[in-house]
Copies of this chain bind each other. A is one copy, B any other.
Amino acid sequence: MPESHPAPQRFPVTVDVVALTVRNGELNVLLITRLIEPYRGKLALPGGFVLAGEDLQEAAGRELAEETGVEHLPGHLEQLGSYGPKGRDPRGDILTVAHLLLAPDFPVLAAGSDAEQAAWYPVRDIQSGELQLAFDHAQILEDALERAKSKLEYSPLGAAFCGEEFTIAQLRAVYEAVWGTRLDPRNFHRKATGTPGFLEETGRMTAGDAGRPAALFRLAPAARPTAGQPTRAVLNPPLMRPRES
Contact = CB atoms under 8 A, between A and B. Distances in A.
B9 A51 contact: yes
A227 interface: no
A54 B86 contact: yes
A93 B53 contact: yes
A167 interface: no
A135 interface: yes
Contact of A116 (B3, B53, B135): B3
A95 interface: yes
Given A36-B3, A86-B54, A93-B52, A12 B13 contact: no
Nearest to A115: B3
Given A53-B86, A84-B55, A86-B53, A35 B116 contact: no
Contact of A11 (B3, B11, B47, B135): B11
B1 A48 contact: yes
Contacts of A96: 1
A59 to B, nearest CB: 10
Q: Is the interface of A mostly helix, strand, loop or mixed?
A: loop
Interface in A44-96: 44-45, 47-56, 79, 81-82, 84-86, 89, 93, 95-96
A185 to B, nearest CB: 23
Contacts of A10: 10-13
A135 B150 CA distance: 31
A60 B96 CA distance: 17
Contact of A97 (B4, B9, B12, B82): B82
A236 B238 CA distance: 12
A8 interface: yes
Contacts of A50: 9, 11, 85, 95
A186 interface: no
